[in-house]
Structure 1
């Protein structure tokens, strides 16, 4: 490893190390982007009732809420020659890759259109995919808190999200690209087209390769160096506390940021659930998933998701230069712009104008995925940091579950309008900006 200079406790890391610890998110988010951009399409294609879509979208956040706190807590206590966080990545990545191969084949095993077997196979595949993907994701978040000093923190979180969104660009564009190359974008009723299936296969390969790259290149601190850099006792990171005890001693910022995140993730859950259907209804004027027009709308939603990711990458370059005293202003601005993007989808009925909507959504997306972690890790003292980051994931997962359950009542109430669900999502996201000012930042102890 290149020589490191010590700055304010934690060393100043060379760019090569920052690259290695953030690049792996390219593959992890390719998996999550395939799930978020294609789940609605997958389940409607295999025959799920649109009024029941919320059920299938409960499973991923439920897994995240259960898995990430456990990975955080137990990896805090895992000190091995392979590292502290990396062993979990070595376990999670191969399992996630396997499930990526299985998920798009939910309609290809002869279960029958709209059969319980096909729907349950898809649901269980999604459950295991999110479980393993969360095991992969958590180490990437925790090593930044473990290893990156305050001066480099905004840079590192922004880089992680830039690579994350680059993976999202590849994931969401590939069905469209494959269709353009002549790969079939239609299939027999109840089965996913090859353009989607082969994209998932590519995602599995990329996830494995990028995760192994991070494992090979990142050398985590040993217990003594970690304690010295963070100013804590070595024994502090071997202390076993219950989640309840950790929550009781959580810094104030933990709860304040979590409140804002509740609004953010409620909104994005509806984008993933109803985005394809909203675009099919507004632009193609179809609601039948078995039609070529609906599948074309699915491809266009993938393109728009890539636009969202590109906008996020570009905005991430701006956020990478954010000073600590500018974080809340940039957070609030991002949420307001993202909310406007959601609301505009309801009113737009042409393909190209939706590009502007998803540019604004992309700004909101990277703002809520980078700035909160910079704020939170500043408020933590390096003690039980993995456990707290895992618990903080509940503020990401719980609103998705609430949104999915609420959709059973809200969707029929608004006339089963998928564009209407995105209008509601935009209002909720913008409301989250109202609570950003209440966040009280605390310096790392």
Structure 2
């Protein structure tokens, strides 16, 4: 069917219109922050082995990997005269995510919690993915950096408040941070999840009810009503290409699985191997469907669009890989780096270790606060330089911040590197999406924004496996050098951003 969309010039929106269309991201980040800060705690309470936490955690990014492209694809093809294109997914995802947030801290056994994590992460992604496409739908090119920066602002605010909720409930409201019965989650965590559920639903519905979407052009609406089926072009060419690609990917995934099993490598690598094999199978299925003259089916269009993604998106994939590799290095290894290098201890039972771990929690709150402020400034910097240069500057600040941990001995000075990290975090959450949106066909905005998530999940899987090897075999067990490697990776990402073809970039000074 035809998926052509509106071709008129989009009007500039006011500050409060951009605020309203982005406000739901505050609640979405509440959900993610509560999940990130408390899931390991819940798993451990329910008896999870520490060695199994990483594999249990991979459920979250893998869920996003699967859900986001599908939601993007189908939201591109949705239109309701009252609810619009993206807003139905906002509402459905918010409802399911809010229910999951209430269930998660009340899980009675480990696999219930793990299953709830899958459902919760999928539900949050159902709401979140269309929010990225929403900016491209609603805003003209000159305001897209502002739109994504507004989302970054709400991400920063949501991360700070939600991360501190258990502490607030315990310290200021007297709600216990220990459970009366072994195997149960403490009340302060439970109440935090309930508050997060309410915040997620209310803020997302604020966006749903306060923001309207532009209607599609008549050709798009007519195709939806007639349920017209459209085969892809050049079927013979794509049938052969999909079959070759599918066989190669399936073989690589199978071979990698055998290598992992033979050499007893990290089990997290199985996720990458199985993912390669399954992606190969999907290509083979698409080739078979073309052969059956059924290339009008969604799976064929999804595979074809993936294989023909815009050049700008491919260039940004490299930027994203090195950016997120650095972030995961920081998230995983800042605590052992600070406690061993600055507090001079590796004993988790010592007072010095726990002082260092508590400090890291505060530092992470600091960089999210800095990110919220930096998000306000980024559009102005981009306006007078360029988005590519702005991203280089921001990522360089983050890279220098991570590297500087090596040279700091006074714990009281650690807030300085987090300024750079916060600036980089704000840019990572906004500038790449602003650059990407200008290269995407409007009728496929949601799908490609979902696929873009691949370039966040893949470096996470790589980091979860490669960093442990580097730590033990290259860095002699010194975690501080993992942070240095992360800083170098972030600077590389900044340099790569200069090579991105930013098609609708606003000229400096405009």
Q: Per the shorter chain, which TM-score range?
A: 0.7 to 0.9
154, 158, 166: which one aligns with 2:157: 166
Tell me the distance in 1 between the aligned counterparts of 2:184 and 2:351: 13
260, 263, 268: which one aligns with 2:327: 268
User: Which residue matches 1:385?
Assistant: 445
Higher mean C-alpha deviation, range 408-417 or range 326-335: 408-417
Q: Is the Cα–Cα contact under 8 Å of residues 30 and 168 in structure 1 kept in the other structure?
A: yes
Higher mean C-alpha deviation, range 391-400 or range 45-54: 45-54
Deviation at 1:47, TM superposition (A): 5.7
Tell me the distance in 2 between the aligned counterparts of 1:257 and 1:206: 33
Tell me the distance in 1 between the aligned counterparts of 2:331 and 2:388: 26
Tell me the distance in 2 between the aligned counterparts of 1:51 and 1:346: 28
Residue 429 of structure 2 aligns to a residue whose secondary structure is helix
User: Which residue matches 1:113?
Assistant: none
Deviation at 1:38, TM superposition (A): 3.7
Higher mean C-alpha deviation, range 165-174 or range 298-307: 298-307
Tell me the distance in 2 between the aligned counterparts of 1:348 and 1:225: 62
Show the 5 A alignment for 1:121-140.
Answer: 121-140=112-131
User: Which residue matches 1:20?
Assistant: 20
Deviation at 1:258, TM superposition (A): 1.1
Task: With the length of structure 1 as denominator, give the TM-score of the two structures.
Answer: 0.83
1:185 and 1:399, CA in 2 relative to 1: closer, same or farther beyond 3 A?
same
Deviation at 1:379, TM superposition (A): 1.5
Tell me the distance in 2 between the aligned counterparts of 1:354 and 1:308: 11
Task: Indicate whether 1:10 and 2:10 are aligned.
Answer: yes
Deviation at 1:159, TM superposition (A): 1.0
Tell me the distance in 1 between the aligned counterparts of 2:27 and 2:326: 24
Per-residue deviation, residues 35-83 of structure 1 (Å, max 9, x unmatched): 2334455555666555554323322111111111000001111111311
Per-residue deviation, residues 309-342 of structure 1 (Å, max 9, x unmatched): 1111111111122228511111011112112223
Tell me the distance in 2 between the aligned counterparts of 1:348 and 1:214: 44
Q: Is the Cα–Cα contact under 8 Å of residues 29 and 168 in structure 1 kept in the other structure?
A: yes
Tell me the distance in 2 between the aligned counterparts of 1:423 and 1:45: 33
Task: Indicate whether 1:212 and 2:215 are aligned.
Answer: no
Tell me the distance in 2 between the aligned counterparts of 1:271 and 1:216: 38
User: Which residue matches 1:399?
Assistant: 459
User: Which residue matches 1:103?
Assistant: 104
Deviation at 1:19, TM superposition (A): 1.4
Show the 5 A alignment for 1:64-83.
Answer: 64-81=64-81, 82-83=83-84
User: Which residue matches 1:112?
Assistant: none
Task: Indicate whether 1:305 and 2:305 are aligned.
Answer: no
User: Which residue matches 2:216?
Assistant: 223
Tell me the distance in 2 between the aligned counterparts of 1:20 and 1:400: 32
User: Which residue matches 2:191?
Assistant: 198
144, 165, 176: which one aligns with 1:184: 176
Deviation at 1:238, TM superposition (A): 8.8
Higher mean C-alpha deviation, range 335-344 or range 292-301: 292-301
User: Which residue matches 2:91?
Assistant: 90
Q: Is the Cα–Cα contact under 8 Å of residues 176 and 303 in structure 1 kept in the other structure?
A: no
Could you list the runs of 5+ residues in structure 1 that have no partner in the other structure?
Answer: 1-6, 110-116, 229-233
Tell me the distance in 1 between the aligned counterparts of 2:356 and 2:393: 30
Deviation at 1:418, TM superposition (A): 5.0
User: Which residue matches 2:313?
Assistant: 254
Per-residue deviation, residues 147-167 of structure 1 (Å, max 9, x unmatched): 100121111111111112111
Q: Is the Cα–Cα contact under 8 Å of residues 345 and 357 in structure 1 kept in the other structure?
A: yes
Deviation at 1:284, TM superposition (A): 8.9
Tell me the distance in 2 between the aligned counterparts of 1:404 and 1:325: 36
Q: Is the Cα–Cα contact under 8 Å of residues 54 and 405 in structure 1 kept in the other structure?
A: no
1:357 and 1:100, CA in 2 relative to 1: closer, same or farther beyond 3 A?
farther
Show the 5 A alignment for 1:231-380.
Answer: 242-276=301-335, 278-279=337-338, 283=343, 285=345, 287-288=347-348, 300-321=359-380, 322-323=382-383, 326-345=386-405, 348=408, 351-380=411-440
Higher mean C-alpha deviation, range 124-133 or range 361-370: 124-133
Aligned length: 424
Could you list the runs of 5+ residues in structure 2 that have no partner in the other structure?
Answer: 1-6, 231-297, 506-510
Show the 5 A alignment for 1:393-432.
Answer: 393-407=453-467, 409-413=469-473, 414=475, 419-432=480-493
Task: With the length of structure 2 as denominator, give the TM-score of the two structures.
Answer: 0.73
